[in-house]
Amino acid sequence: MRYDRENRITGKPAVKYFSLDRALRYESVSSRESRWHQAVVFKALLMVLSLLSLSSLNADFYREINLLGGYSSREHFIDNSSTLKNSLGFEYFRKLTQQQGDYLTIDIQMRLLYDQEDKDHYSMQIHNLWAEYKPGLGRKLRIGHFQPVFGLENQTDSHGTILQTSAMMNIGLKHDWGIAYSRIAGRYDIAIAAQSGLGMGFPEWDNNFLFTGRIGRDYSDDLTAGISLMAGEVAVTDRMQLIPAPHVLRSIKKSRLGIDIQYSWSAFHYAGEAAYGKNDAEQVLFIFNQIDYKPFGLEGWEFNLQNHYSMLNAADWGKFNTLLGAGVSYAVSETVKLKSAALITLDQGEILDKQIFLQLYYFGR
């Protein structure tokens, strides 16, 4: 999970609580025209990005291929996980520099997905689309589409992994539109963000919103920890993509207080987080732990174990929903990884589903 992408080192909806069929039935002409205009703008954006990719000056252009398949005890053969589908993608990463160092960073990362169960089959996801200005003294100002500054997800990279942090369960999204400010003060890393609460969809600036903040501290080279806050009204959508446009099914008022910690020792790395708060009027609790092991004698191999615990209402307080995960990956080269993972979903001890996945992941120039 550890990966420094920058350094390259290692509102209420229009109708609340409604069904998708009903939403489609009463969709307005202006709404359809809005999505048509969004599609035109997005196609123009793709053309600009295609031209940008031809320039390699002070820039990195990466290609991504994700091939995934598996078996579920409930759904039998499957070709996607909760956050991954078969896809082709790219990342355009560029730093603009001057004599004092880099002052502007641009990151654009998108995927074209295929899902045979989806009526549209093909869709477009946008993960990163941001620009970050550095005025100096450890300060950064970011605008665009990026991760909320809450918990582990903002500190790690789960972009191409089957095993995930608790971000989707807890926050309800992994990336969102907005603006963020951060600065480094000694051993402390302070960040705040104001975002739309809509995730991957185009921001419509209704009653949805998301505010997050985190204060982290490096206690040593091997130990970091942080405390996070979150408040917002986060949209629940029918799909996690940009095009075709997702539909807002409902919104949930969320508030959270979270803690996170990472510790490395020898060939082991531990990452854990916990978050407590409310979804509307219900008290909720999320706990996540993961251990990564990279044996010294087996170059390229990595082994992972994780667990997710969640309590979603006060009536079931003390009764956990659980997700257990185990993964093995082998780096064939610097750009190609073979991965496998097994997941078990339990509801208060009763097994709901067992899944196993195989994945071929390519990320490189």
Q: What is the DSSP string of 103-116?
A: EEEEEEEEEEEE-T
86 Cβ contact partners less than 8 Å away, ≥ 6 residues apart: 66, 67, 68, 79, 80, 113, 114, 115
Q: What is the rounded distance in angstroms from the CA atom of residue 284 to the CA atom of residue 316?
A: 10
- For residue 194 the two structure tokens come to 């104001």
Q: Pick from 11-25, 42-56, 199-213 the range whose average pLDDT is largest.
A: 199-213
pLDDT(183) > 60: yes
Q: What is the rounded distance in angstroms from the CA atom of residue 284 to the CA atom of residue 286?
A: 7
Instruction: Give pTM, 2 decimals.
Output: 0.83
For residues 132-152, give the mean pLDDT: 94
Confidence of residue 336 (pLDDT cuts 50, 70, 90): very high
More confident residue, 314 or 336: 336
pLDDT(167) > 80: yes
- DSSP-derived letter for residue 80 is B
Give backbone dihedrals phi and psi of 219, rounded to 5 degrees, phi first: -80, -25
Cβ burial, residue 289 (10 Å; 0-12/13-18/19+): middle
What pLDDT is attached to residue 272?
97
160 Cβ contact partners less than 8 Å away, ≥ 6 residues apart: 64, 66, 84, 337, 361, 363
Indicate the domain borders of the chain: 20-364
Beta strands 101-114; 76-78: pairing state: unpaired
Q: What is the rounded distance in angstroms from the CA atom of residue 94 to the CA atom of residue 296?
A: 34
What pLDDT is attached to residue 27?
40
What pLDDT is attached to residue 116?
74
Q: What is the rounded distance in angstroms from the CA atom of residue 111 to the CA atom of residue 241?
A: 9
User: Which CA distances in Å does 306 have to 72, 211, 287, 318?
Assistant: 19, 28, 11, 20
- Which value, in Å, is the radius of gyration of the alpha carbons in the chain? 20
What pLDDT is attached to residue 51?
53
pLDDT(21) > 70: no
Contact 265, 241 (CB under 8 A): no
What pLDDT is attached to residue 203?
65
Confidence of residue 29 (pLDDT cuts 50, 70, 90): very low
pLDDT(94) > 50: yes
Q: Which amino acid is at 38?
A: Q
What pLDDT is attached to residue 26?
36
pLDDT(350) > 60: yes
What pLDDT is attached to residue 320?
84
List pLDDT tens digits, range 286-324.
999 999 999 998 999 999 999 999 998 766 677 789 999
Residues comprising the chain, all counted: 365
Confidence of residue 100 (pLDDT cuts 50, 70, 90): confident
Contact 163, 155 (CB under 8 A): no
What pLDDT is attached to residue 341?
97
**Per-residue burial over 9-34, b = 16 or more CB atoms within 10 Å of its CB, e = otherwise:** eebebeeeeeeeeebeeeeeeeeeee
Q: Which of 80-84, 147-151, 203-207, 209-213 has the least mean pLDDT?
A: 203-207
Contact 221, 262 (CB under 8 A): no
Percent share of the chain, pLDDT over 70: 81
- CATH superfamily of domain region 20-364: Porin (2.40.160.10)
Beta strands 301-311; 321-331: pairing state: antiparallel
